[in-house]
A and B are shown apart, each in its own frame.
Chain A
Amino acid sequence: MGEIKNCFLPDDLSYHIEYNVWLRNTGDGTFDLGMTDIAQSMAGAMLHCRAKKVGKSVKTGKSLATVESGKWVGPVKSPFACEIVAVNEEVAGDATILNKSPYKQGWIVKVKLAEGADTTSLVTGDTAIAGFTAYMAEHELDECIHCEGFDG
C-alpha cells in the first residue's frame, strides 16, 4: 500500500493524477473506476454522486459522473475513451461511501475501453506516488482526512 501524508494509494491500482481517479483492471476487458483517497479528502463529506447512464460513450477528459459535497462540485473525468457498462447504485444512493470506502465499495462506474483508446496517461507504483506528491503540493493539501468507518 502506497502512502503519502496519510493518503492511501493501493499498489494494485492504476491512477490518473490530474483527474484524481483510480482504475482497477478486472481482467475481463473492463475497468472499475473511482475517486482516490486524495480526491475524497479534498471534496469533504459527499452529498451526491450521479453517474451517466449505462451504455453512454464518454470521450477522454469528459465526465463519467458528477460529485457534490458540502464544499465542492465537480466531474469525475474519464482518462480514456470508453463506454459505461455498469454504475454503482449503492454509491448513487449513499455518496458517503466515497468517503468511507474509496477503493472497495466506492467504485463509481465500470467502463469498457473504446476501440483504440489511449491508456498511456495511467500510472502505477512509484510513478503514481511521485505524481500525487506533486499534485498534493500544488493543491496545498497537507494530509488526507478519514471519516469514521474508513476502510482504507
Chain B
Amino acid sequence: MDDEGLVTVFVTTGPETEQRCATPFYMANMAAIMDNEAEMIFQIDGVLLMKKGVAEGLTAKEGGKKIIDFIREAKEAGVEMKVCSAALQLHDMTEDDLIEECDGVVGAAYMVDRGLESKMVLYY
C-alpha cells in the first residue's frame, strides 16, 4: 500500500459543516487506491466524525451518499484513521465512543511527525 509515499489528511471540521465531510474521506481513499500509505487524523470538531452514530446520519449533499459509506470505502482501500487525544477531551469523549473504523488515539508529537514524513498533507 505504501509504494508511493505517505499522504496525511488532517480533518478539523465536523458535522456542523456537513458539506465538508465527504471530501476528506474521498481524497484519502483515492490516495490509498493510488498505492500511497494514507492516514487521516481527526482534530478539533473532526473527531466527531469518528463518534458512534454520527456519520450514519450525515450527508455532504441532501439525498447523497452517507458519510459512513465514505468512511467504509476509505477503510476498505486501506486508509488508517486516528483521532487526536486532546480533541477527545474537548468533546468529553472516550475511546469507547469511537466507531470500529477508527484505528486509535494519538498525541501531538505523532501528528507533527507524520506531517513531516508525508509527501503530501491535506487539511480540511
Residues of A within 8 A of B (CB): 59, 62-63, 66, 73-75
User: Given the complex of chains A and B, what is the CA–CA distance between A74 and B3 in angstroms?
Assistant: 17
Residues of B within 8 A of A (CB): 3, 26, 29-30, 33-35, 73
User: Given the complex of chains A and B, what is the CA–CA distance between A123 and B67 in angstroms?
Assistant: 38
Return 18 A-B CB contacts under 8 Å, by A number.
Answer: A59-B3, A62-B3, A62-B35, A63-B33, A63-B34, A63-B35, A66-B30, A66-B33, A66-B34, A73-B26, A73-B29, A73-B30, A73-B33, A73-B73, A74-B33, A75-B33, A75-B34, A75-B35
Chain B residues near A59 (CB-CB < 8 A): 3
Sorted nearest first, the 5 A-B pairs with minimum C-beta distance are: A75-B33, A63-B35, A62-B35, A66-B34, A66-B33
User: Given the complex of chains A and B, what is the CA–CA distance between A75 and B34 in angstroms?
Assistant: 7
For the residues of B in contact with A, the DSSP-based class is helix
Across chains A and B, the number of contacting residue pairs, with CB separation under 8 Å, is: 18
Query: Closest approach, in angstroms, between the C-beta of A9 and any C-beta of chain B?
Result: 25
User: Given the complex of chains A and B, what is the CA–CA distance between A144 and B33 in angstroms?
Assistant: 25
The residue on A at minimum CB distance from B33 is A75
User: Given the complex of chains A and B, what is the CA–CA distance between A66 and B31 in angstroms?
Assistant: 10
Chain B residues near A66 (CB-CB < 8 A): 30, 33-34
Query: Closest approach, in angstroms, between the C-beta of B113 and any C-beta of chain A?
Result: 26
Chain B residues near A63 (CB-CB < 8 A): 33-35
The residue on A at minimum CB distance from B1 is A62
Query: Closest approach, in angstroms, between the C-beta of A45 and any C-beta of chain B?
Result: 16
User: Given the complex of chains A and B, what is the CA–CA distance between A110 and B33 in angstroms?
Assistant: 20
Chain B residues near A73 (CB-CB < 8 A): 26, 29-30, 33, 73
